[in-house]
Amino acid sequence: MLKGKKILLCVTGGIASYKSPAICSLLRKNEAEVKVIMTENATKFVTPLTFQTMSNNVCHVEMFNQLFNMDVEHISLAKWADVIVIAPATANVIGKFANGIADDMLTTVLMASRSPVMIAPGMNTFMLNSDANKDNMETLKKRGVIILDTATDVLACNDYGSGKMLEPAEIVEEIDFLLTTKDLSGKNFVITAGPTMEPLDPVRYLTNHSSGKMGYALAKCAKKRGASVTLISGPTSLNPPKVDKFVSVKTTRDMFDAVGEFFDESDVLIKAAAPADYRPKKYSEEKIKKTAKNDLNILEMEKNPDIARHYGSLKKDQIIVGFAAESTNIYEYAKQKLEKKNFDMIVVNNIKREGAGFGTDTNIVSIIDKDKVDDLEIMSKTDLANEILDRVKKLMS
């Protein structure tokens, strides 16, 4: 979503400036255009040459060295940017920006800017919490400047506390969030993700290979596009994305109940989870011992509720998207599932193909609706999530 976006990265003289080239690099990897301005003091920490190389553009430091083209540089830079990001932002630059001081290239561009400005502060805890800095940040917030949180950790000065600049990936996420068109705003999405876990005894359980990556990518993208998102997730090793509600469940029955809680209010239900179809019939309160008697046939199974089928049968105006992982008769099984479960669309992957299915960052799927089958190329789970959301949006309209 950052493709082609114009980002003006402003780097000031804080110790976290050593991380700013990584921000530049990540933005470029996401196909954004980046220009960089540094304060004179920032060049004591990192060189302009680094940013020039990483951004593939001239790095601006000097106010009176406007030799690059015939424009007045600070005005043209300010007009150029879709967003201005100050990372790290020193207490000094925050103070100057809040009080209208424009005594170098960076602060003059800020004065001339009409684009959104995002600030990633990085400083010692006492500086962060000083009255002057708090007032300055409050003033900027009131003017609509976006001020990111800081992390709490051991700081460069060896103190432990708040004031650590967010990591480059987190800052890039925030930029992406800000610049993504909110074309799904006002819509309520319920998304399920991950496997479920069916306990056998206090030690053992049955589960499957679902990593949750596809469902999490869908939740993240829907949220970025302005939807209100409830993510119902089985156990995964992923960090929960920023969504409106995150509901953690273990078993298929838990997931069934959680979907029931949010289904009526939803506009869209996307079932990207892989809930277990069966569970052990009996849960043993004590660990099952390895004895000759238990060696065979200890696993008696019973059926779990079919979440997709149940809520498909209760569907009113909702759009329901299902997923299927198949290894044979892919289209046939997927079409049967589409009809039986009253889905509007089913995303089916052939788990035997390399680059598709569980745990990977890419997927190769076919998307089937009532009218047609589309075989898609291999793509990242994020791109696939946006493709699915585009189709859901079409169905809603």
Ligand X SMILES: Cc1cc2nc3c(=O)[nH]c(=O)nc-3n(C[C@H](O)[C@H](O)[C@H](O)COP(=O)(O)O)c2cc1C
Q: Which of the residues are catalytic?
A: 157
Nearer to ligand X, 90 or 251 (CB): 90
User: Phi, psi (5° rounding) for residue 379?
Assistant: -150, 165
Nearer to ligand X, 167 or 277 (CB): 167
Mode of pairing for the β-strands spanning 373-375 and 365-369:
antiparallel
Tokens 């020039």: give the residue. 52
Nearer to ligand X, 12 or 360 (CB): 12
Nearer to ligand X, 118 or 229 (CB): 118
CB 172 within 8 A of CB 85: no
Residue among 106, 108, 102 nearest 43 (CA)? 106
What does the DSSP 8-state code read for residue 113?
A: -
CB 59 within 8 A of CB 52: yes
Catalog residues that contact ligand X under the rule CB under 6 A.
Answer: 12-16, 39, 41-42, 90-93, 122-123, 127
The distance of closest approach from Cβ of residue 10 to ligand X in the complex, given in angstroms and rounded to an integer, is 10
The distance of closest approach from Cβ of residue 16 to ligand X in the complex, given in angstroms and rounded to an integer, is 6
The distance of closest approach from Cβ of residue 134 to ligand X in the complex, given in angstroms and rounded to an integer, is 14
The distance of closest approach from Cβ of residue 265 to ligand X in the complex, given in angstroms and rounded to an integer, is 45
d(CA 79, CA 72): 11
The distance of closest approach from Cβ of residue 164 to ligand X in the complex, given in angstroms and rounded to an integer, is 9
The distance of closest approach from Cβ of residue 235 to ligand X in the complex, given in angstroms and rounded to an integer, is 38
CB 274 within 8 A of CB 194: yes
Nearer to ligand X, 23 or 32 (CB): 23
Q: Where are the beta strands (DSSP E) in 166-208?
A: 188-193, 198-199, 205-206
d(CA 104, CA 111): 11
d(CA 84, CA 77): 10
Nearer to ligand X, 56 or 65 (CB): 65
Q: Count CB atoms within 10 A of the CB of residue 229.
A: 27
Q: Which residues contact 63 (CB under 8 A, 6 or more apart)?
A: 74, 104, 105, 108
Q: Which residues contact 372 (CB under 8 A, 6 or more apart)?
A: none
